[in-house]
Amino acid sequence: MAYSWHKIVPFVGDLTPAPEIADPNAVVLFGAYTMWKYAQAKGLKPGVFRIAPFVHQTAWHPYLLNGADALFLTLSDIPERLPDDGTDWFLRPVADSKEQPGTVKSAAEIRALAQRVLAIDPGDIPRGSLRLDTELMLTPPARIEREWRIWVVEDRIVTYSLYKEGARVTYRHEIDPDAMAFVERLVAVNPDDAPAYVIDICRTFEGLRMLETNCINAAGFYEADLEKLVRAINAMSRAS
């Protein structure tokens, strides 16, 4: 499959240099979630495989890490609905939009973040930044032993990578057998979630849990087998 490299023009979203496209119906863009806008504007297909928020997929709810204890608040809700009580929360946007990386923050830090955004005129907030209506998911932090990313194409596990052990970032092309079986179960209980996507899972002291899904076009590759991934996506585009 032919490929080319390009820079994304910040805020505008154009690619430079402009790509030479032989068939607009056989183009996949990797590198940033916002490229879905470029693909849409240029009529490129499949372009970017956008996904629905994983927390809206009820089939996955029993497998989520702290899913039952999650709070869902828009940024504008936080000053009134999130008490400044010293609690730490794992924070991430519900949508797969990369407006805020998943991270642990104290309630005071989250409230301060909301206040900073509230102080900005909505018309002055850059595209791709947190906004007043950004829905956030807050969950209690959990102790995690290992974390993996798994690439799924047409409901088939194509490749995988370990990317974290405890607090240490480490990339290896490996996955524990029970973790692979767990991901197979996740794919099976929620088929056709998206033509292609990634699932992040983790091993906790209470067992294996699902962390999130991500847009395959904007997910880091870590130590995935990229040749297998390219072949799978190329076969999918030919079949469609």
Prediction pTM value? 0.81
Q: Report how far residue 220's alpha carbon sits from residue 214's, in angstroms, rounded to the nearest whole number.
A: 10
Listed in sequence order, the residues at least 6 apart from 68 whose beta carbon sits closer than 8 Å to its beta carbon are 61
Quick one: tokens of 67? 């899913």
Q: Report how far residue 232's alpha carbon sits from residue 196's, in angstroms, rounded to the nearest whole number.
A: 10
What tens-digit pLDDT sequence spans the chain (240 residues)? 788 999 988 767 789 999 999 999 999 999 988 888 899 999 999 999 999 889 889 999 999 987 767 888 998 999 999 999 999 999 888 886 666 777 889 999 999 999 998 888 887 777 778 888 888 989 888 889 999 999 999 999 999 999 999 989 999 999 999 999 999 999 999 999 999 999 999 999 889 999 999 999 999 999 999 999 999 999 985 544
Please, are residues 223 and 172 in contact by the beta-carbon 8 Å criterion? yes
**For 111-167, what is each residue's pLDDT tens digit?**
999 999 888 888 777 777 888 888 898 988 888 999 999 999 999 999 999 999 998
Tell whether omega for the bond before 17 is within 30 degrees of 0, i.e. cis.
yes
Q: Which domains does the chain have, with CATH numbers?
A: 7-47 (no CATH), 66-139 (no CATH), 143-239 (3.30.470.20)
Q: Report how far residue 172's alpha carbon sits from residue 222's, in angstroms, rounded to the nearest whole number.
A: 8
Q: What is the pLDDT of residue 240?
A: 46
Say how many residues make up the chain. Answer: 240
